[in-house]
Structures are given as structure tokens and as C-alpha cells.
Structure 1
Amino acid sequence: MMTACSSSDTSTGDGSSPGADAASIPPYSGPESDLPTSYGLPAKKPGKTLTFGYLNNTSGNELTNALGEGFEAEAKFLGAKTIVLDSQLKVDREVSNFQQLLAQGVDGILVNPLDPKALSPLIKQAQEKGIPLIGVDVALENGELPEGFTGQIMKGADHQAYETAKAIAAEKAGAKFGILNIAFPVAGPLYQMERSKYWAAKFGLEFAGERSNATDDSNGAAAVSGPMLSKDPDLDAIIAYNDPSALGAVTAARASGRELIAAGSNGGSDGIGGVKAGKLLMTTSVDAVRIGAMALAGLYNVRTDQNLPLPKSILVAAKVVTRENADSFASFDELADSIERTGLTATP
């Protein structure tokens, strides 16, 4: 990485060490290679009013809100109702929100858990009541669903880890990188960062350590990135579990007169804007609206006896965002509006 700030706005370093030959980088062949990518699309059942709940682990995150947007959009298309509760990154609130949904007798729940262990007794209660649960990234390493879950939708954490490591290796061969991780026991990003180390090693990148972002925003990332950068003057790159953290790392680097190769994840407006502005090398755009809508479709299938049995796991893969294609990505709001009007389609 290490260069002084220049007049150009770019996160790609000084180019003194060329990236790996793209032809030498093998195609993805990880554990997500052969997963189905959709539930069967349900037909609306007139006269049957169903209510489904979504446990949003924080409304302060654009991605988790987009899950809710898709969930609500597909519900409106099918004539169902929704209850969306914000856990505010607090495990005790997540527990009470789950209890509230059970008490209200919802017909199914989308669970994007902060702490799966804390929810275990409530998941068992839902199972006993016959309430189907679809999780987001609740079984990543071995694909074995936790007891009580009907299915899970995977955001392609391993695909994202592969694409991120590939992009950094292509930008600068042998780059020395650090990781900004989430400070909560959320399985998806923790797994993704672990797999980033795996794929980075495959591509010849050098791991320099990691820090956790306790506030899940760019300020928190900047606060922990500063000491990481000061400690290691040869640090070239940061891989972050979300876009605000990647942008916070860039802010910290520039405050000390350094440029940094930074890669984020989620692909919300901040991440795509960061790629367009040259602050981020790339991000991966999680298809959050489709994930939420697909979860609603899966729960509706269960309650209306359609398209069963559901696959235990499906993959709604993220897409790589670079400066070359950043203008082609629709906003989460636009995607949700489309689903509300016409419902899900078989392919994204």
C-alpha cells in the first residue's frame, strides 16, 4: 500500500506491485457450488390471510432493512401481512422480540440471528407450535440446519470471500492484508471473514491480523483501523465484513496520509457509492431484497402446502461490484417496488 496521499481518489495503491495474472486464478469451486438458488414460487391463495414475522437484528444497517423490504414486498404481492421487529443489536431485545412474535401467533418467522444460542429455547417453542422458521446463514460450514429450522437462505459468504481475495490478488500480488470483523456472534459475516483468510492464502496474500468493529459503522471501523495501520506500515489492504467498515478503514488511512486497497461487502448505497468514488476497490452486492422475498415465499409455501418439501438450503448469491459495473445496480427500494408489483421471478 504505502504511498502518500495523491490528488487522485483511488483505493488501489500505487501500482508498484502488479496483480496476479487473472488466468492463473482458479474458478470458484467451494462448498456453495451446487446449491439450489430458489424456492418454488407460490401461487396466491385467496381468502387465506397469513401473518409472518421478521426479526431484524438492527434497523441501523441498510442490508438488514433491505431483507425486510423484500419480505414485506412479497407478502403484499401474496396478500399476506407482516410484523417486523428491530432488535437494535441487543441480544436481550432479540429474545423479547421473538417472544412477542410467538405470542402473536405468527404463521412463520424469518430469523437473521444475532446470537443463535440465546434463541435456542424460543426456537424449540416455535417448533412445538408448528411455526416454520427460515434462517439467514444459520448453517454454513456443514449445511446441517439447527433443530427447529425449516430451511435457510445463504448469502454466498464463501463466494464473496473468494471474489474479494481474487480482486485483491489481481490488484496487487502478494498483498499484505488485515481484516475488520463483526463484534457480534453473527454467523454469516464471521464465516465470511474466516473464508476470506482461506481464499487469500490460496491466492498468495499475507494475513496481518484482524480487529473487530464494536459499533457496526464507519466510525467504529476507523477507530480500530488507525492502530492497525500504525502498527504495520506495510499493510496494503483491508477486507471488511461490511461496506461502512471498509470505508471507515479508508478514512483512517487517509487521515494518516496513506492509501489503502479496501474491499467491503453488502453492496448498499454507501458501498456502491464508495466503489464509484474510488474509495473501495470492490464490494459484493448481497441480493438482500430477493433473500427477504424468497424467505417469505418459502414460509408461504409451507403454510399453503405448495412446492414442498423445501430444500434445506438455497443460495441467493451476491454480485461483484467494481467501477466498471457499479452504475448497473438498482437500489434496494427499486428492487422491492418491483417485487411488490409483480412478485418474485424464478431468476434474479
Structure 2
Amino acid sequence: MKRIYFSSFSAIFLLSVFLSGCNQSTSSEKSGESEGKKLTVGVTMLSMQNEFIVNVSDEIEKKAKELGVELITVDAERSALKQIEQVESFIAQKVDVIIMNPCEVEASSPAVTKALAAKIPIINVNSETTAKPSAFIGSDDVESGRIAMKFIAEKLGGKGNVVMMHGYMGQAAQIKREQGAREVLKQYPNLKLLAHQTGEWDRAKGMALMENWIQSYGADINAVFAQNDEMGMGAVKALTDAGLKNKVIVVSIDAIPDALQAVQKGTLDATVFQNAEQQGAKSIETAVKIAKGEAFDKEILIPFQLVTKDNLAKFMK
């Protein structure tokens, strides 16, 4: 009886060891598969017709390659409705994280809400929404408006007429850059805002708007604040064609290569540097941290910097 009992016990013990080994092997294989799986990030950008936005997108792509992240990048073409649909598509594709460069503060907010409801982290890059995302990577646009208008105020000695070109109305950058500019204008009662209108971040529209203002106000214009370089370059072209550029100060924001060259030539008086490289890189780095369950910063603000001929060399590549 003892012999039979021992044999049965041995058989059961060997079987359990065998099964345990199989389970460990299966578990190990699954773990390996999970570790080997590439993270997939869906990216929706405001407009790939805008040079600064393209620069941010390029940096996202560059950093994604370094980190082994698979990207699905789409262009919202300035449509908040299209952007929401793109986020819905990312949700259906079950991406790990979504990066959104919002078209509008309010109208793009449902995209954030939908992503979070689907338990997919969403990061806003460069621009904001009313709905709070998992993280925000960008800069304080109020600061950039203050920097630009302060430069104008000092150059004009606190007295003169300014026109302001708005970006795409309803977008965070447009709202906040105007806010910053108006804060400075309040400090200079003799600095008048002669006119303000949207150029929709576009060079051709900025040029056309400047041509209209030249016809309406002519030599009364002392300075132009364009909320981005594309519109600023359009304003420079219109003023140059009208023979007025040497009498009018033009300041814009972003420090894209064209603007830096214009500052070097003296046709653009100043631009405000916004760091596309850091915005793009940090958005992907944050996406990876979130996907891996690591600690991450919920807000990263990258400072703006005034660029003039005096410090131009620092920003030229």
C-alpha cells in the first residue's frame, strides 16, 4: 500500500511541475509580446499649411522614431469638426495615446472629452481647450503678446498708432496673444489700437489685410503686431510694396526661418521665438510616460524669447 501511495504522489507531483512550467512559459511569452509591442500614438494637427505647426509635427515625428513609437498623423485643416472625427477614429483604432494640436478652444473640446471617456490619454500640444486634457505641452501665449507689444511701445516711445493681425479666431493662441497685447496697451494711453482683424495665421491673407489698412490709414500706421510670422511676413511685403516699410515697425511671433532671415535683413523688426522643437519632443516623451504608467508633468510651459538683430545669432541654424 505504501508503495502504491508513493507512486501516485510522485505522478501527481511531476504533473503539477509540468503544468507549472507550461504556465510560466505561456506567461513569459505573453510578457515578451507585451514588451515588444510598439506604442501607437494618434496625432491631429491644426493645419499642415502653417510652417510653425509643420515644425512641431516634424519634431514629434523625429522624437517618435528615437523612442520607437508608431505615429498616425492627420491634418485637421483648421476644422474643429474634422478634428473631433479624427479623434473618434483614433479611439476606434485603440491607439495608446492621442496628441492634439487644437483648432479651437471651445469647438475642439469635445475631442478631449471623448478620448478621456474612452480611457485613452490625450495631450494638447501648442494650443489649449476648455476641456482639461491629460497633459498640456506648450507656451504661455499671453506672455508672447506682452513681449511683442512691449517692444513696439518702447520703439515708439509710448506714442503712436498700432494695427493688430489676429490669428484664427477662437483659437487659444489668438485669444491669449490679444490679451497680452492689450494688457501692455493699457499701460500706454498714448499708444492707440487703430484697427484689428483676423488674417487667419495666413501669409497671403495677412498681406491682403495690410494692403487694405494701407489704403484706409496710410501714413497714420506706426506699427504692426502680427500674432504669427506668416501674417507678419505678409504685412512686410505689403508695406515694402507701398514704400512704407522703413516708416512702420513690424513684430510677429514664432521665429520661423523666413522671419529670422527678415530680421537679419532688417525688414522685420523683431519676432518672438516659440520653441517648436521642445513642444514636439516633450509631447511624445510625455505620451510615452503616460502609456507606461510613469510619473509625468501635467503641464509643461516653454518660455518665449524676443528675437532682434542683437541676439539673432543665437536662433539662426
Q: TM-score, normalised by structure 2?
A: 0.81
Q: Deviations 1:37-93 (Å, cap 9, x if unpaired)? A: xxxxxxxx9635211122111111111111112212222222211111112223343
In structure 2, the gaps of 5 or more residues are 1-33
Contact 1:95 1:119 in 2 (8 A): yes
2:191 is the alignment partner of 1:213: no
Q: Distance in 2 between matches of 1:113 and 1:223?
A: 26
Q: Which residue of 1 aligns with 2:210?
A: 225
Q: TM-score, normalised by structure 1?
A: 0.74
2:140 is the alignment partner of 1:156: yes
Q: Distance in 1 between matches of 2:53 and 2:257?
A: 13
Which residue identity is paired with 2:232?
A
Q: Which residue of 2 aligns with 1:315?
A: 301
2:230 is the alignment partner of 1:241: no
Structure with higher RCO (Cα < 8 A, 6+ apart): 1
Q: Deviations 1:303-322 (Å, cap 9, x if unpaired)? A: 112224x33x2211122211
Q: Percent identity?
A: 22
| Higher helix proportion (structure 1 or 2) | 2
Q: Distance in 1 between matches of 2:180 and 2:199?
A: 18
Q: Which residue of 2 aligns with 1:193?
A: 178
Q: Deviations 1:203-236 (Å, cap 9, x if unpaired)? A: 453221202114x322211111122223223110
Contact 1:181 1:189 in 2 (8 A): yes
Paired residue for 1:134, among 123, 131, 135? Answer: 123
Q: Which residue of 2 aligns with 1:302?
A: 290
Query: How many residues matched?
Result: 279
In structure 1, the gaps of 5 or more residues are 1-44, 140-144, 332-348
Which residue identity is paired with 2:40?
T
2:77 is the alignment partner of 1:88: yes
Q: Deviations 1:153-201 (Å, cap 9, x if unpaired)? A: 2323122122212211222211321100123421113311231121133
Q: Which residue of 2 aligns with 1:118?
A: 107
Q: Distance in 2 between matches of 1:120 and 1:167?
A: 34
Q: Distance in 1 between matches of 2:233 and 2:127?
A: 27
SS in 1 for 2:95: coil
RMSD: 2.1
Q: Which residue of 1 aligns with 2:265?
A: 277
Contact 2:210 2:235 in 1 (8 A): yes
Residue 148 (structure 1) shift? 5.0
Larger Rg computed on CA atoms: 2
Which residue identity is paired with 1:254?
T
Which residue identity is paired with 1:250?
V
